[in-house]
Structure 1
Amino acid sequence: MKVVEKLNMLCGREINRDLLFMKMNYFFAWGAYAPVIPFCATIGKQRGYSALAMGITLTGLQIPSLVVRPLLGSVTDAYQCRKLMFLIGEVLSALAVLGLIFLPGATVAESIADEIVFNTLLYWVFFFLLFFLYLGCVMRSLMEDTICVSLLGDNVHNYGQQRVWGAIGYGIISIVSGVVVDWFSIGQAHDDFRPGFVIAFICVAFDVYVSAKIKVEQVKKTETFSGNMKTVLTDFRVIVFLIATISFGFFYTFVLYFVIWYLEDITNLHHPEYEPHIKTIQGLSQTIQCFLGEVPFYFVSSYIIKKVGHMNVFSLTFVAYAIRFALYSIIENPVVALSVEIFHGITFALPYSAGVAYAAKLAPVAAEGTMQGLVGMTMKGIGIPMGNFVGGYIIKNLGIVDAFRIFSIGSLMVCIVVSTMNLIVKRMYKTENNVVQTS
């Protein structure tokens, strides 16, 4: 409290205490992701799990997003318990990371047959620790976005200015954890990810502390709540929006999980001299994504969304994905490939901000959590699992480079479909207010 008062004196204006703690939450929560989530696929690869096995694994990890998000959104809207679920999700993530720290390490020279992998106890311990980590992340991320847009009120277009602190935390912790993992792995036959897990646990602990200080107020559920949601779900604008978020999640998967895999493969094939520093390079890729990609676009997202329109942002995103994937498919040097990561602002920060803001605008009163849960389910519960399975299958059979060529073509095709559907929406909703919201 004293810190906030001092900041008010320095700035000469009143600082919103809850939004300050919201920014701190984003910083520590996304910072905790950095040493774990992007490395899941390569951690499994080091254990001898094939791309297909990890694709199936990562698909299974998205079950909480498919089931929990819409259910949790509805429950917290009805029983006004957002903060409780917020904190439970963070504690669950902390326990899962703690389990990963003490999970026995494993490394193999070649991939283990998939049928053998799925019959080992160590695999299932690994899977369920990641499963509960993802479950906690789902609970926390849904509640934090819902709480954040509620705190912003009519200024929901400023969501990106809050969420940018997640990118800053992610970017800082990425490079720190990458360097630390490389340093602790010197002289070992495999990478030691445990120092990264320790860093993640420390971040989650700080996150629990600052989140407990956020004041959460909810509007009571109205009698017309169910009717309003039915109207929203039959609105063609919403249907097109959800199709766009599914597609966004599908392509985002290849960046979230398989860029790290890609950097490792092209290093092994073309530049083995970089192998002792591969975790630093991979960590740096995440840092560039955040500081040169996400951070600038979170700051300007409000302006771009107002000028371009929520749905046109998604069309722009799919064009950017096509270019990004095409560049991955022709670059052989992992250091040169780092330059491609600046596309992350257009391919993640901008559409993520547009999605959260548009969902808030479309949501009926007191149904913000339900609507955010629905959007999160389509992106992370449908789009990402589809991307994991399809990506894992294609990479195993064709290799990572050819896979990115296919993803590039696919993204352009999706852009055409979504843009066409958006034009249809504009014709259906001709009033000025609706055109602004759907353009």
Structure 2
Amino acid sequence: MKMKMNVVINRQLVPMKAHYFLWNAGTGPVVSYLSSYARQLGFSSVVVGLVYTILPICGMIAKPVFGAIADRFHCQKKIFLVAELLTAVAFIAIYYSPEVPTERVVHFSCSDSEAVFNTYPGNTIDECTLAEIQSKQSLESCRLDCEANATIWNTICTNWDAQEYCDPSKQTDRLTFTAQVPPSYTQIFNGTAIFRVGNVSLPNSDFVNPICPNESISTSCNIDCTDYNINDVIGVTGVEDNVAYGLYQFWLFLALMIVGWVSQAVVVSIGDAICFEMLGDKPNRYGYQRLFGSLGWGILALITGVIIDALSQGQSQKNYVSAFYMAAAFLVLDFLVSFKLEYSQKKLAANILRDVGRLLVDVRIIVYLIWCISVGMCTGLIWQFLFWLIEDLAKAQGCEAMNTVKTLQGIVAAIQCLGGELPFFFLSGWILKKIGHVQTMSLVLLVLGIRMVLYSVIENPWWILPVEFLHGLTYGLFFACMASYASIVAPPGTEATMQGMVGAVFEGLGVSLGSFCAGLAYNTYKGLTFRYFGYGSLVMFVLHAGVQYLLKLKDVKAMYAPPKDALEKIQEDDQQELTLVDS
């Protein structure tokens, strides 16, 4: 007897799945590279760090505020759709943000038959970057704009075969020429990088050999080269950090980042509230919807990285145009798909603040929020400094490891999303029903502690790859548990408010505090920072399990499993959106 497998799809939830895929496909290509793009705009690490300290705080405020507005005026879907479009607009505007004034200044000298230019002290170059520059056999082109005087013009006239500049009327206080630079001859001396100059070309003339006189001529030059690494070595932001805070470029960039961040926060929190409303009494099915987001993020983040490198060949800076425009395109598609969500806000609350406020005095909710903060702190460390750890480990392994570090980081991101989040979002409903929310929370803290400690003992950065499969437990399962529990305990009509509040606690308090503490610790302890955070997570695991055990002994209704009435509703799912039926 043959057995047929019939696939029954809940068409009402298809737009929700499509939203998660398109939304994360749209935000992934930009969010993954925003800090690098900010650096390319000329902002220092200090300035970028300040920006990323402000953003989670803005998200912490925005999530509950817009969630409460959506619940109060019954306009969840409208705010949700507007925030999607606003995110796309913010991304495009960020791409066109003006750069901070940046100067690339070198010292050019010509003597003893050799023309060179060198960086000024303070422009550090590591051995791997030097090796990468030296490995290039082709000539690179650099355009120099230098201060000029009579001695220099005399050398140009007599030694560089430029007779037209012997006329004093054509001699100005600036000398502009293009130099062919052989990167393989680059050297380091007394902390400065020295680049040899091959042939040179004056405006409207062919390349000639720059013959240097016995007496040295030297000058200061602004320079721009076609090679990204050379430009990166000689580039110096023209303003100090305290001056940058007064520039309109900084405030415009910060304002656009806040708009983009707040819009994303609103879409995520209200989107989850809409999802749980559509799931009805099946909140455990949330992971089946959310896994499509991991799929979108993982695939597009990898593709975008490859495209950025391909479009940046031969350019002095990375070309991010593909990331921002692909993001905008996916977000517009997400807006069109989200329009088709068959959803209406049915639950209404008489007094949202009163209903939510009652939860905040419940012991189980207090412990739940502390759990969110604890996991958020470790998540902040991973988000901000895991790639730093990978680069530090790669540097310790040598230049060969550094040559593949970006590839490794791309694979890490892919494993996190496709090998970690995706399967555990899929399994989250089964796990939550099998062991309950409280045991799941304890499990997350335990595995997170183990993950942090493993990071601190790894010496070869490629061994981080198998550790990343734990990301499914520490983020995929965590996020499903956090969101579904918030949905279950939320009083009717306060779903968006509750999702916003929980998201604000996790990100605005947990991730923000974790990033701040990790930044201070990493500056001193480097990779050991992960070990100390891991110990903290293991301590929180013991405390969480112990507090829960004591509450149970005292017969306090503080179990993290859903309330009894909610548990009675979560039965075997006979209305799955994807059901296999034997016939």
Rate the CA distance shift 1:198–1:167 in 2: closer, same or farther, 3 A. same
Q: 1:437 aligns with which of 537, 542, 562?
A: 562
Deviation at residue 358 of structure 1 after TM alignment: 0.8
Q: Superposition RMSD on alpha carbons, in Å? A: 2.7
Q: 2: CA distance between counterparts of 1:435 and 1:283?
A: 36
One-letter amino acid matched to 2:325: V
Q: 2:549 aligns with which of 405, 411, 423?
A: 423
Whether 1:411 and 2:537 are equivalent positions in the alignment is yes
Post-superposition CA distance 1:217-268 (Å, at most 9, x none): 1125243655433322211111111111111221111222322333334334
**Contact 1:49–1:111, Cα closer than 8 Å, also in 2:** no
Deviation at residue 116 of structure 1 after TM alignment: 4.6
1:373 counterpart residue number: 500
Deviation at residue 203 of structure 1 after TM alignment: 1.6
Q: 1:215 aligns with which of 329, 339, 342?
A: 342
Rate the CA distance shift 1:416–1:435 in 2: closer, same or farther, 3 A. closer
Whether 1:314 and 2:308 are equivalent positions in the alignment is no
One-letter amino acid matched to 1:376: G
Whether 1:78 and 2:72 are equivalent positions in the alignment is yes
1:27 counterpart residue number: 21
Rate the CA distance shift 1:220–1:298 in 2: closer, same or farther, 3 A. closer
Deviation at residue 407 of structure 1 after TM alignment: 1.9
Larger mean CA deviation between 213-222 and 271-280 belongs to: 271-280
Deviation at residue 332 of structure 1 after TM alignment: 3.9
1:54 counterpart residue number: 48
Q: 2: CA distance between counterparts of 1:356 and 1:103?
A: 35
1:6 counterpart residue number: none
Structure 1, unmatched stretches of 5+, are 1-9
**Contact 1:50–1:396, Cα closer than 8 Å, also in 2:** no
Q: What TM-score does the superposition give when structure 1 sets the normalisation length?
A: 0.88
**Contact 1:319–1:415, Cα closer than 8 Å, also in 2:** yes
Rate the CA distance shift 1:39–1:274 in 2: closer, same or farther, 3 A. farther
Q: 1: CA distance between counterparts of 2:232 and 2:250?
A: 14
Whether 1:99 and 2:225 are equivalent positions in the alignment is no
**Contact 2:67–2:496, Cα closer than 8 Å, also in 1:** yes
One-letter amino acid matched to 1:317: V
Whether 1:292 and 2:419 are equivalent positions in the alignment is yes
Whether 1:173 and 2:321 are equivalent positions in the alignment is no
**Contact 1:145–1:356, Cα closer than 8 Å, also in 2:** yes
**Contact 1:40–1:257, Cα closer than 8 Å, also in 2:** no
Point out the structure with max Rg over C-alpha. Answer: 2
1:402 counterpart residue number: 528
Rate the CA distance shift 1:318–1:44 in 2: closer, same or farther, 3 A. farther
1:155 counterpart residue number: 282
Q: 1: CA distance between counterparts of 2:387 and 2:416?
A: 12
Whether 1:17 and 2:11 are equivalent positions in the alignment is yes
* SS of structure 1 residue aligned to 2:340: coil
Deviation at residue 429 of structure 1 after TM alignment: 4.3
Deviation at residue 48 of structure 1 after TM alignment: 6.3
Q: 2: CA distance between counterparts of 1:352 and 1:65?
A: 17
Q: 1: CA distance between counterparts of 2:363 and 2:461?
A: 43
One-letter amino acid matched to 1:377: A
Rate the CA distance shift 1:262–1:116 in 2: closer, same or farther, 3 A. farther
Larger mean CA deviation between 411-420 and 149-158 belongs to: 411-420
Rate the CA distance shift 1:276–1:238 in 2: closer, same or farther, 3 A. same
Q: 1: CA distance between counterparts of 2:74 and 2:391?
A: 46
Post-superposition CA distance 1:67-121 (Å, at most 9, x none): 1111111111111100111011111110111023223567854897643543444
1:3 counterpart residue number: none
Match runs of 1:89-168 below 5 Å: 89-104=83-98, 108-109=232-233, 114-168=241-295
2:358 counterpart residue number: 231
Structure 2, unmatched stretches of 5+, are 103-230, 565-583
How many percent of aligned residue pairs carry the same amino acid?
32
**Contact 2:380–2:511, Cα closer than 8 Å, also in 1:** yes
Rate the CA distance shift 1:201–1:404 in 2: closer, same or farther, 3 A. same
Q: 2: CA distance between counterparts of 1:276 and 1:339?
A: 21
One-letter amino acid matched to 2:83: G
Larger mean CA deviation between 241-250 and 223-232 belongs to: 223-232
Q: 2: CA distance between counterparts of 1:127 and 1:398?
A: 30
Rate the CA distance shift 1:22–1:141 in 2: closer, same or farther, 3 A. same
Larger mean CA deviation between 422-431 and 193-202 belongs to: 422-431
One-letter amino acid matched to 1:177: T
* SS of structure 2 residue aligned to 1:186: coil
One-letter amino acid matched to 2:552: K
Q: 2:372 aligns with which of 221, 234, 245?
A: 245
Q: 1: CA distance between counterparts of 2:462 and 2:315?
A: 23
Q: 2: CA distance between counterparts of 1:130 and 1:90?
A: 15
**Contact 1:178–1:280, Cα closer than 8 Å, also in 2:** no
Q: 1: CA distance between counterparts of 2:314 and 2:458?
A: 30
One-letter amino acid matched to 2:339: A
Match runs of 1:254-269 below 5 Å: 254-269=381-396
Aligned length: 427
Larger mean CA deviation between 198-207 and 333-342 belongs to: 333-342
**Contact 1:320–1:347, Cα closer than 8 Å, also in 2:** yes
* SS of structure 2 residue aligned to 1:437: coil
Deviation at residue 130 of structure 1 after TM alignment: 2.0
Rate the CA distance shift 1:97–1:337 in 2: closer, same or farther, 3 A. same
Q: 2: CA distance between counterparts of 1:125 and 1:269?
A: 38
* SS of structure 1 residue aligned to 2:387: helix
2:209 counterpart residue number: none
Q: 2: CA distance between counterparts of 1:403 and 1:365?
A: 42
Rate the CA distance shift 1:434–1:390 in 2: closer, same or farther, 3 A. closer
**Contact 1:80–1:220, Cα closer than 8 Å, also in 2:** no
Q: 1:326 aligns with which of 450, 453, 457?
A: 453
Q: 2: CA distance between counterparts of 1:137 and 1:360?
A: 20
* SS of structure 2 residue aligned to 1:132: helix
Q: What TM-score does the superposition give when structure 2 sets the normalisation length?
A: 0.68
Q: 1: CA distance between counterparts of 2:243 and 2:533?
A: 30
**Contact 2:81–2:339, Cα closer than 8 Å, also in 1:** yes
* SS of structure 1 residue aligned to 2:508: helix
Deviation at residue 288 of structure 1 after TM alignment: 0.7
